[in-house]
Amino acid sequence: MNSKEIERIEPWVKRFLFVKKETAKTLDEACDKPLLACGRDEVIFDEEVTFFNGIRMAIQAISTNAPEIEPIWTQGVLFDQHGNELGCTEVGDQFSGEYGITHEGELYIVEVAGRFWA
């Protein structure tokens, strides 16, 4: 995401997804080294965040075809109110952080962070 895109952000196009601290840590580590306790092409994490206009972004962490030797990958997928896919991020190699997708001139951002409360 470049600085011009960030400057354009309206307050309602960024949402936060807070996950358990342990979950964030495990998935961040699994992006660097193989996660042994998962199957091939398994969706390990999949949660949605809804924006003001009903558009949703799913944040996903997925194991590879060879999970015993390759780390997981991540992506954000944008959907309309009816579940039609509107776009997706590039495949990522980190779980925590920002996922941004532009649709019809609007930049939708979800920031994933580990929470420190119960």
pLDDT for residue 10: 55
| Amino acid identity at 19 | V
What is the per-residue pLDDT for 61?
96
Q: What pLDDT shows up at residue 11?
A: 47
Which run of H or of E encompasses 23?
helix 21-30
- In angstroms, the CA 58 to CA 47 distance is 5
Cα distances (Å, whole numbers) of residue 57 to 40, 50, 71: 24, 7, 23
Pairing relationship of beta strands 43-50 and 14-20 according to DSSP bridges: unpaired
pLDDT of residue 117: 65
- Write down the pLDDT at residue 116: 72
Distances (CA, A) of 71 to 28, 86, 88, 94, 114: 10, 27, 20, 10, 20
Q: Are 82 and 59 in contact (CB under 8 A)?
A: no
Judge whether 88 and 101 are in contact, CB under 8 Å: yes
Q: For residue 99, list its beta bridge partners.
A: 110
pLDDT at 17: 96
Please report the pLDDT score of residue 3 as a whole number: 47
Mean pLDDT per 10-residue segment, the chain (118 residues): 51 84 93 83 94 95 87 96 96 95 93 82
